[in-house]
Structure 1
Amino acid sequence: MPLFWRIFLLNAVVLTVATALLLGPVTVSTPVLLTEAAVLTAGLAAMLIANGVLLRVGLAPLQRLTRAMTTTDLLRPGARPAAGGQGEVAELITTFNAMLDRLEAERTVSAARALSAQEAERHRIAQELHDEVGQTLTAVLLELKRVADHAPPAVRDELHQVQETTRAGLDEIRRIARRLRPGVLEELGLSSALKALTGEFTGPALSVRHHIDADLPPLSRDTELVLYRVAQESLTNAARHSGARRVGLALEHTPAGVELSVRDDGHGIHGAPEGSGIGGMRERALLIGADLSLGPGHGSGTEVRLVVPTHRGSHRPCPR
């Protein structure tokens, strides 16, 4: 029975009984006697209690739905509110759950297209940096060397300094191109790409160690790319924002699936709002059905953990 009719009929019953009592054994004198006031007060209390119980029971599913609406995050899909109640209340909750399913599916498709376009753009930019800018700087280096060989000694030293500056710029461009387009991932696989990635971030101010299992199951190209990008973003955050001195990267084959974890000994997140980088990691994780968690590490610092179920990670490609 719809909520409206349940409330209406309960009030109709209570008012009918009250009217019958007033027309029958219950009377009201002028002035009102103490016993009559007690009977009327008890009747009013009974009516209010009955209405309160009915409203509490009938509106409880709507309160759960309100909490679900305020806490729903499409990047963190969770349990749906149970379709409790009756009539239009259960129908409303069912409709809300169907809307969430549709929104999550549409977001997954749109995010997959956006990330695919992003990867294609990164590939194009890296190719242009390597082919256009890289070759131009290489030609400049050769020309500087030719000029320096025929220059007076006083000018030769200055030209050598210009050569070193140009060579450093060329190395930086190549490093940026490698980050935009991880060619080692396509050529040598995920394990080698992650080892090379940790080597890029290792320096005087940061020590990065890695542990990669040798018995990893076969993974799809999209899954390997997501694992690489999550590791890259995690290491970038640790190097730029955490103030860490040591970072550990591990890729392991566990009963839950393939697990990537990046731990640092920095100052932690301490409830800081998530930026676009973390949001991008969550979107990538959703594309392959993986679970991404971000929180404090053991003792201090931050830990990023990505778990890819093998039955989904090796067979479910990202939409194009």
Structure 2
Amino acid sequence: MFLFWRIFGLNALVLGAATALLLWAPVTVSVPVLLTEAAVLLSGLAVMLVANAALLGVGLAPLNRLSRLMTTVDLLQPGRRLPVPGRGGLTGLISTFNAMLDRLEAERADASARVLSAQEAERRRIARELHDEVGQSLTAVLLSLSRLADRAPEPLHAELLDAQEVTRESLAEVRRLARRLRPDVLEDLGLSSALISLSTEIAAHTGLAVTRRFPPGLPPLDPEVELVLYRVAQEGLTNVARHADAEHAELELHRADDAVVLRLSDDGHGIGAVREGAGIRGMRERALLVGGRLSVGPNPGGGTLLTLTIPLSREGS
């Protein structure tokens, strides 16, 4: 209602000024209207329209800023707020909008935390079943094939050896999948060892050369932070191997002031103007869970640069 009265007042001001000019100005209107009188009236109308447009532009400017922010806001990039003016009729509207963003970001973070927690639990369950059920079954098949191959004549012996090799490769693949789903080395040996194991495995299976830089001095981290760093590195290396057409990648983990920073760069064709997919948005959601900030963009030396920064002073660390 205040905005209504504000616009009404602006229009009333312009119309009142025009009425006062007509009352006290030495201008008359003849019948029929003379050319000079028509010129004066049209000039007055033009002045009224320009003044009205200028006053409405000033009055509605905060709404325009609010509209632009509403079209560009992204809950995965929190913190963007519209400045609240000290006075004026739109102060309450802008404050309400900022409060709504606070609530939406908190609800999004809470929902993402529950989803990712359930996802990690499901990954652990699948990894355990792969290791305990499928892995043991394949091991039993492998042993049976080995015993049969020892007693079988040619050419059945050679065929059983081929089947044994296929089974052995399948068993290795099952174990590799189980390790990717549930990084036991992260819990047993720590983050650096887990990242070394991850990069070595990806390099062995894809041919991507990975250089690691893990300077000493990294402080102890929460298990939740370590898991986020590991999953972001895992997703980033997988994206490089699948989509970047790169030959070399560099993985770096270090401390910068009061934050821990994970950097992944490659020499591929770069990210360009491609829209962010589910992989990058998933990494952003993980980063938000620990108060981190993820940036993905072009690498100054060519390719793509991914940077994850997590403050060490975050709440609960």
TM-score bracket, shorter-length normalisation: over 0.9
Change (3 A) 1:62 1:126: same
Q: Measure the CA separation in 2 of the matches of 1:293 and 1:164.
A: 44
Residue 261 of structure 1 corresponds to 263
Unaligned runs of 5+ in 2: none
Q: Measure the CA separation in 2 of the matches of 1:162 and 1:60.
A: 74
Name the SS of the counterpart of 1:179 in structure 2: helix
Q: Measure the CA separation in 1 of the matches of 2:13 and 2:214.
A: 72
Matched, 1:104 2:72: no
Change (3 A) 1:26 1:250: same
Residue 2 of structure 1 corresponds to 2
Deviation of 1:48 (Å): 2.0
Residue 277 of structure 1 corresponds to 279
Q: Measure the CA separation in 2 of the matches of 1:95 and 1:224.
A: 37
Residue 210 of structure 2 corresponds to 208
Q: Measure the CA separation in 1 of the matches of 2:86 and 2:242.
A: 51
Matched, 1:29 2:34: no
Matched, 1:15 2:4: no
Deviation of 1:42 (Å): 4.0
Query: After alignment, is 70-79 or 56-65 more displaced?
Result: 70-79
Deviation of 1:246 (Å): 0.6
Unaligned runs of 5+ in 1: none
Change (3 A) 1:161 1:20: closer
Query: After alignment, is 88-97 or 241-250 more displaced?
Result: 88-97
- 8 Å CA contact retained: 1:74, 1:104: yes
Q: Measure the CA separation in 2 of the matches of 1:17 and 1:179.
A: 76
How do 1:185-196 residues align onto structure 2 when only pairs under 5 Å count? Answer: 185-196=186-197
Aligned-residue CA RMSD in angstroms?
A: 2.0
Deviation of 1:287 (Å): 0.5
- 8 Å CA contact retained: 1:61, 1:84: no
Deviation of 1:9 (Å): 2.8
Deviation of 1:263 (Å): 0.8
Residue 145 of structure 2 corresponds to 144
Q: Measure the CA separation in 2 of the matches of 1:257 and 1:14.
A: 57
Change (3 A) 1:127 1:38: same
Q: Measure the CA separation in 2 of the matches of 1:12 and 1:260.
A: 60
Deviation of 1:270 (Å): 1.4
Name the SS of the counterpart of 1:75 in structure 2: coil
Q: Measure the CA separation in 2 of the matches of 1:113 and 1:283.
A: 11
Q: Measure the CA separation in 2 of the matches of 1:11 and 1:298.
A: 54
Deviation of 1:43 (Å): 3.1
Name the SS of the counterpart of 2:276 in structure 1: coil
Q: Measure the CA separation in 2 of the matches of 1:36 and 1:2.
A: 38
Q: Measure the CA separation in 2 of the matches of 1:293 and 1:272.
A: 14
Name the SS of the counterpart of 2:250 in structure 1: strand
Q: Measure the CA separation in 2 of the matches of 1:49 and 1:2.
A: 23
Residue 173 of structure 1 corresponds to 174
User: Deviations for 1:277-312, whole angstroms, at most 9, x for unmatched residues?
Assistant: 111100000111111000111321111110111111
Q: Percent identity?
A: 62
- 8 Å CA contact retained: 2:214, 2:252: yes
- 8 Å CA contact retained: 2:73, 2:80: no
Q: What stretches of structure 1 move > 6 A for 4+ residues in a row?
A: none
- 8 Å CA contact retained: 1:123, 1:180: yes
Residue 63 of structure 2 corresponds to 62
Matched, 1:226 2:228: yes
Name the SS of the counterpart of 2:313 in structure 1: helix
Scaled by the length of structure 2, the TM-score of the pair is 0.93
- Give the letter aligned to residue 5 of structure 1: W
Change (3 A) 1:97 1:242: same
Residue 308 of structure 1 corresponds to 310
Query: After alignment, is 173-182 or 86-95 more displaced?
Result: 86-95
Q: How many residues align?
A: 315
- 8 Å CA contact retained: 1:262, 1:304: yes
Name the SS of the counterpart of 1:247 in structure 2: strand
Residue 251 of structure 1 corresponds to 253
Q: Measure the CA separation in 1 of the matches of 2:249 and 2:19.
A: 78
Change (3 A) 1:18 1:276: closer
Residue 116 of structure 2 corresponds to 115
Deviation of 1:12 (Å): 2.9
Scaled by the length of structure 1, the TM-score of the pair is 0.92
- 8 Å CA contact retained: 2:258, 2:313: no
Q: Measure the CA separation in 2 of the matches of 1:18 and 1:267.
A: 64
Q: Measure the CA separation in 1 of the matches of 2:11 and 2:233.
A: 63
- Give the letter aligned to residue 89 of structure 1: L
Residue 184 of structure 1 corresponds to 185
